Amino acid sequence: MKKKGVRRFGLHTMVVSNELNPAAHVQTARMLFSLAAEISKKIGIEFEFVNLGGGIGIPYKPEQVPVNFESLGKEIKQAYKEIIEGNGMPSLNIYMENGRAMTGPFGYLVTTAIHEKHTYKEYIGVDACMANLMRPGMYGAYHHITVLGKEGAKSNHKYDVVGSLCENNDKFAIDRMLPEIKVGDVIAIHNAGAHGHAMGFNYNGKLRSAELLKKTDGSVEMIRRAETTQDYFSTLNFPGSKYGALAAK
Ligand SMILES: Cc1ncc(COP(=O)(O)O)c(C=O)c1O
């Protein structure tokens, strides 16, 4: 690249995902700092930045321990001192891309139980579906569930909590012990701030929900309205369409 005239350099990696062990992130930083030092020395280039990628995990299960950002920062700073400063390299920027850690724990998918089915298993059908949060359906990821108003009740019922798509993997929880759920109960699915609304989709013509922001003073504001049928068809563009771009003209 240098021979071809490139003058600005950075290093980027993404080696772990949803990793709660801070040692893995420190190791990534050490690996990239060392590589930057080695390449700088060998071919005489300066790195403007090292990008450590994302991958900091969040405690999806109540018993898991969150990553301590303070001590992680200190350890990465120590590695920087040893390797970058220790090799007499000019200072460089450190970037990270932690989407999940920054947003995940702060979003909830709030949904209502609208069906129950008691066959060989106990099913609770909710009005959300994997188009609102696809991790559980796509790869069986655990998202904690709270039945609002029943936080203190015993979790003595085993349910599959299922969405409303006609797909058999559209399940938010399988064999989950929860308090007894009645149709009309409101259910909060935790850690939906990442991979939720922003990565939602319109499978089966499902319309995206509204988004509500709870502020530090306890007040709630709607920061995104729910999609309408008009929104869904708004990109259609053929003569005679009732909804789309031509209809708007
Ligand atoms: C290159 C890159 N950066 C950042 C991320 C985000 O990771 P996370 O939001 O889990 O920190 C990903 C996810 O796969 C990725 O591939």
Query: Does the pLDDT of residue 247 top 80, yes or no?
Result: no
Q: Is 56 in the pocket of ligand 1 (CB under 6 A)?
A: yes
Residues 166-193: what's their mean pLDDT?
A: 97
pLDDT digits (tens, 9 = 90+) for 130-157: 999 999 999 999 999 999 999 999 999 9
pLDDT digits (tens, 9 = 90+) for 201-212: 999 999 999 999
**Active-site position among 6, 65, 166, 223:** 166
Annotation: CATH topology of 107-227: Lyase, Ornithine Decarboxylase; Chain A, domain 1 (2.40.37)
Residue closest by Cα to atom 5 of ligand 1: 54
Query: Does the pLDDT of residue 249 top 70, yes or no?
Result: no
User: What is the model's pLDDT at position 200?
Assistant: 95
Greater pLDDT, 67 or 249: 67
Query: Does the pLDDT of residue 171 top 90, yes or no?
Result: yes
pLDDT digits (tens, 9 = 90+) for 83-94: 999 999 999 999
- Using CB atoms within 10 Å of the CB of residue 188, give its burial: 0 to 12 exposed, 13 to 18 middle, 19+ buried: middle
User: What is the model's pLDDT at position 245?
Assistant: 67
Residue closest to 203 by CA, chosen among 127, 122, 115, 132: 132
Annotation: CATH topology of 9-103: TIM Barrel (3.20.20)
Domain with CATH 3.20.20.10 in the chain: 9-103
Domain with CATH 2.40.37.10 in the chain: 107-227
Query: Does the pLDDT of residue 79 top 70, yes or no?
Result: yes
Note if 166 is an active site residue.
yes
Buried b (16+ CB within 10 A) or exposed e, 83-117: bbeeeebeebebebebbbbebbbebbbbbebeeee
Residues 7-10: contacts with CB under 8 Å, at least 24 apart: 8/48, 9/45, 9/46, 9/47, 9/48, 10/47, 10/48, 10/49, 10/50, 10/51
Q: How far does residue 16's CA lie from ligand 1's centre (Å)?
A: 9
The amino acid at residue 96 is M
Atom of ligand 1 nearest to the CA of 53: 3
Q: How far does residue 237's CA lie from ligand 1's centre (Å)?
A: 35
pLDDT over 70 percentage in the chain: 97
Q: Is 55 in the pocket of ligand 1 (CB under 6 A)?
A: yes
Query: Does the pLDDT of residue 235 top 90, yes or no?
Result: no
pTM of the model: 0.92
User: What is the model's pLDDT at position 84?
Assistant: 97
Residue closest by Cα to atom 12 of ligand 1: 54
Q: Is 57 in the pocket of ligand 1 (CB under 6 A)?
A: no
Residue closest by Cα to atom 6 of ligand 1: 54
User: What is the model's pLDDT at position 248?
Assistant: 65
Band of the pLDDT at 237, cuts 50, 70, 90?
confident
Band of the pLDDT at 242, cuts 50, 70, 90?
confident
Atom of ligand 1 nearest to the CA of 18: 10
